[in-house]
Amino acid sequence: MAINILMPALSPTMTEGKLAKWHVKEGDKITSGQVLCEIETDKATMEVEAVDEGVIGKILVAEGTEAVQVNAPIAILVEEGEAVPAAPAAPAPAAKPAPQPAAPSSSPSPLVGEGRGGGAPAPAAVPAAPPTPTLPHKGGGSERIFASPLAKRIAADAGIDLAKVSGSGPHGRIVKADVEAARSAGTAKPAPKPSAAAPGPAPTAAQPVYPTGESRKVPHNSIRKVIAKRLTEAKQQIPHIYLTVDYEIDALLAARQAINAVGEKSKIKVSVNDMVIKACAQALRDHPEVNAAWTDTDMILNGTVDISVAVATDRGLITPIVRNADLKGVGRIATEMKDLAARARDGKLKLEEFQGGGFTISNMGMYGIKDFAAVINPPQACILAVGAGEQRVVVREGQMVIRTIMSCTLSADHRIVDGSVGAQFLQTLKGYIEQPAAMLL
């Protein structure tokens, strides 16, 4: 019995995703647990495994396809020797254009369905045709032809002119059976579309607006779309308050050097950011009201100290989580962060490794950024922006001395964290950063 393989929901909020890559092809025998494909979600690229055994009878969605809806059929699994059913080859989403026969301009993508004939039941669509003037057929007609994707594909392969095929589907829509009937009867001769489409080069006339080599369009990937949506919502809906403090990190740098010297044999290398993570974890334990989240009905005080750490990837910003950071030493934090960051860049994080978290750290010091203010990652209450350490002249006991200073800015949700609460947290953090031995207590 044939089984439809559906687009999985890889997270509670996922509604669509990109089918990034197929690991199987039509005709391949598969077993339960075998990797079928890779799905790109709003945070990572994840592998999808087979649940049943069988043969890949038909791949319905090509790799690289964007915005594939959750639960949409992406392939058909059949038993060995079983014929592939034809009906599932036309996915349910194909019926979406039917409710909109009077507004073809709102969905311009199916251009291959336009011709000089078209279905008589949709004359109202004719006035909307001018946005696609690339099909000037004799008589001035430019009516749109409504046909299922499968019918279009069969017609194209057989060289059948859909303008000469009568549709039996809803609203005169041409379906597979109509094309096959026309092919059997020989009533629809190959369409002279190639010659009619000769004026197609017309769009090249508009190209000088974007000189070659200077401008190009890059489609948004799913991660970039989600980042844009969430950050816009965060800035519009969350009342941000910003608090900035300068920390002397000479003692922290000395402690880091000593730790790395001890851990050289075990190949553990601790970064400044690893120590900042540990310091924040200790400070959050002392100030649980900062380790919080906002909902429409409650303020949630998190029971564990889970810190999200921003990692830049070529697909966007990902925030893997160091769980129970207050209970871990800097060596373990360093080891975990190295692994999490590497897999984040490769798009191989598991859901539980980037979903959740109670506090975020974004460090741009490695880029030489002196200070900046980050956007809160909802529903979290705060995010700490860490700048670069730099030598500055400061006054200590009436004397000018040189110290290594690192500026940090706390962006806080003012609905949860009052200014005084945020200031107290930063002062506690100052104690851990400027006296790193305190993190051992």
Residues forming the active site: 414
Q: Give the span between the Cα atoms of 92 and 71, in whole angstroms.
A: 10
Which amino acid would we find at residue 21? K
3-state DSSP of 337-377 = HHHHHHHHHCCCCCHHHCCCCCEEEEECHHHCCCCCCCCCC
Which residues have C-beta within 8 Å of that of residue 281, sequence separation ≥ 6?
305, 307, 322, 325, 326, 328
- Report the chain's terminal Cα–Cα distance, integer Å: 64
Please identify which residue in the block is written with the tokens 């001018």: 130
| DSSP-derived secondary structure letter, 380 | B
Structure tokens at 82: 């079983």
3-state DSSP of 103-156 = CHHHCCCCHHHECCCCCCCCHHHHHHCCCCCCCCCHHHCCCECCECHHHHHHHH
Structure tokens at 261: 């010297």
| DSSP-derived secondary structure letter, 414 | T
Which residues have C-beta within 8 Å of that of residue 207, sequence separation ≥ 6?
none
